[in-house]
Amino acid sequence: MRVAVVISVAVALFWGCGDPEVSRLKDVKQVVCACKTSACAEAALKQVPQSEIKSTPRAQKIAREMLDCLAKLYEADRPSSDPDATPPESAPASAQTP
């Protein structure tokens, strides 16, 4: 599923958008970058225009920013490979707790 989402955004990045599509792409980027989970972002990416669109630097920049937000969410979802890392659930609630 992630591959299809990335391919869709890559197509938008490669082909760019005309003005109405750029506006739509900006709206989708705002939703993707506001998401707290990769599942939310993937759902928002389904709204990327799928029509054949003209490439512009502006559209490419928006698509790159959107992919950067998605990459950060994927990174946050990835489990730590550090064997000494403390899982978030076992961390103390506060420094003042005895």
Q: Which of 8-17, 65-74, 77-86 has the lowest mean pLDDT?
A: 8-17
Q: Would you say residue 21 lies in a domain? A: yes
Q: pTM of the prediction?
A: 0.61
Q: What is the pLDDT of residue 28?
A: 92
Per-residue tokens: 26: 């900006």
Residue 45 domain-assigned (yes or no): yes
Q: Which residue segment(s) compose the domain that 37 sits in?
A: 2-77
pLDDT of residue 56: 86
| 1 vs 3: CA distance, rounded Å | 5
Residue 83 lies in a domain: no
92 falls within a domain: no
Rg (alpha carbons) of the chain, rounded to whole number: 17
If one counts the domains in the chain, the total is 1
Does any domain span residue 14? yes
- Using CA atoms, how far apart are residues 2 and 74, in angstroms rounded to an integer? 10
13-57 confidence digits (pLDDT tens): 444 444 787 888 899 999 999 999 999 999 999 988 787 666 789
